[in-house]
Amino acid sequence: MAKVILENICKIYPGGVKAVDNANLTIEDKEFVVLVGPSGCGKSTTLRMVAGLEEISSGSIFIDGRKVNDVPPKDRDIAMVFQNYALYPHMTVYKNMAFGLMLRKFPKAEIDQRVREAAQILGITDEQLQRKPKALSGGQRQRVAVGRAIVRKPKAFLFDEPLSNLDAKMRVQMRAEINKLHHRLQSTMIYVTHDQVEAMTMGDRIVVMKDGLIQQVADPIALYDHPANLFVAGFIGSPPMNFFKGSIEQHDGSLWFVEQAPSGFRVRVEAPQAASLSSYVSAAVTFGVRPEDITDRRLLTDANPHHTLRATVEVVEPMGAEIYLYLKTAGHSFVARVNSRETADVGQAVDLVLAMPKAHFFDPQTEKTIV
């Protein structure tokens, strides 16, 4: 397996469109790294440059200590799994998995051994090995595509949104299968997705991208608890973080966030946020709180009155064990993710308590986190 290093990578298309802008990233040997972001953020382009399918405009890529800028894809010793499976329809599953080894003139006995080992790992039966791809389900085809990569025993595996064509249940199943595969093979894997749930559940580290720029690189929990900026905070999490525009005001020796609206709510800022916000007194800030950090005051016996706001219920979405409440204050709409005991009706005014120690504050100009 191998360490993969990206140094100042740029990709500029004709017309001056900059798809990837000065990306720097080190992926350690045996690490599972996920590139995530909205469509057009540059994540797939970055992956294709690692694979050699896109030419680098500037910068350097190293795989296992070797600079590969001018190395053809077939000589980089990587294997790629595509979104559309890319299987040969006229070949059996066995031949699809064996084809790359056959081109490299591997002995028949070794080809057979590798194909059957990969099939066993992925749960592909002997009967399925003799079928054509059209006789398989989407999930089975994706297993074949992964199996074709496994038989190569490459230095690194690259996955380009491999689960986006599958239904919701199969995506969950395949996420678990790829995770188990990583632990079993102890291989370097780079995985691209636009789905932040996939990113959170699969990656050792997550690389969040926007407009060709890397916004933050961190493990899933650190990314969730300590987003570097407004974009990361809003992109990671489902439902996404709620944002309120307002200002920091000082009153009775404490700092308060005051919503930017006539008769807007205000909540007291607690340590350690207060220390970081001392230079923002009378200045505008963006206040962020995750939906699960909002609780119906009726369920708390020790609710802090300084952390409470009143809102009107606009929509109620039952989700089984949880309910999503879509609410409105004087100036903002937001969502709370509450458990099914917290019943509410459309049009009802409810008192909500915010978990202020978990709150986030952002500079409205730079959009970077303040705390």
Nearest by Cα to 145 from 76, 86, 98: 86
Q: Give SS3 for 348.
A: coil
Write the CB contacts of 225 (distance below 8 Å, at least 6 apart in sequence): none
Q: Which residue has the tokens 């404490």?
A: 254
Q: How many helices (H) and strands (E) does the chain have?
A: 10, 20
The residue ranking higher by pLDDT, 302 or 223, is 223
Cα 188–193–196 angle (5° rounding)?
Answer: 110
Q: How many Å apart are CA 356 and CA 270, to the nearest integer?
A: 7
Q: Residue 338 is which amino acid? A: V
Q: What is the pLDDT of residues 20-69, one digit of tens each?
A: 999 999 999 999 999 999 999 999 999 999 999 999 999 999 999 999 99
With a CB cutoff of 8 Å and minimum separation 6, the contacts of 174 are: 139, 142, 143, 162, 163, 166
Most confident segment among 96-110, 210-224, 338-352:
210-224
Give the range among 139-148, 226-235, 244-253, 293-302 with minimum mean pLDDT: 293-302
Contacts of 20 (CB under 8 A, 6+ apart): 9, 10, 11, 42, 45, 46, 49, 212
pLDDT at 217 > cutoff 90: yes
Q: Domains plus CATH for the chain?
A: 4-235 (3.40.50.300), 242-362 (2.40.50.140)
Task: Provide the token pair at 362.
Answer: 């952002």
Residue 264 pLDDT exceeds 70: yes
Residue 236 corresponds to which tokens in the numbers above? 């990671």
> Helix 108-122 vs helix 168-185: angle between axes, to the nearest 10 degrees?
130
Can you say whether residue 94 is alpha, beta or left, with left for phi > 0 and alpha for psi between -120 and 50 degrees? alpha
Q: How far apart (Å, rounded) are the C-alpha atoms in residues 303 and 294? A: 12
pLDDT at 371 over 90: no
Query: Model's pTM, two decimal places?
Result: 0.91
Do residues 129 and 148 make contact, with C-beta atoms less than 8 angstroms apart? Answer: no
CA distance 61 to 52: 10
DSSP string, 51-102: HTSS--SEEEEEETTEE-TTS-GGGS-EEEE-TT----TTS-HHHHHHHHHH
Nearest to 42 by CA among 210, 234, 233: 210
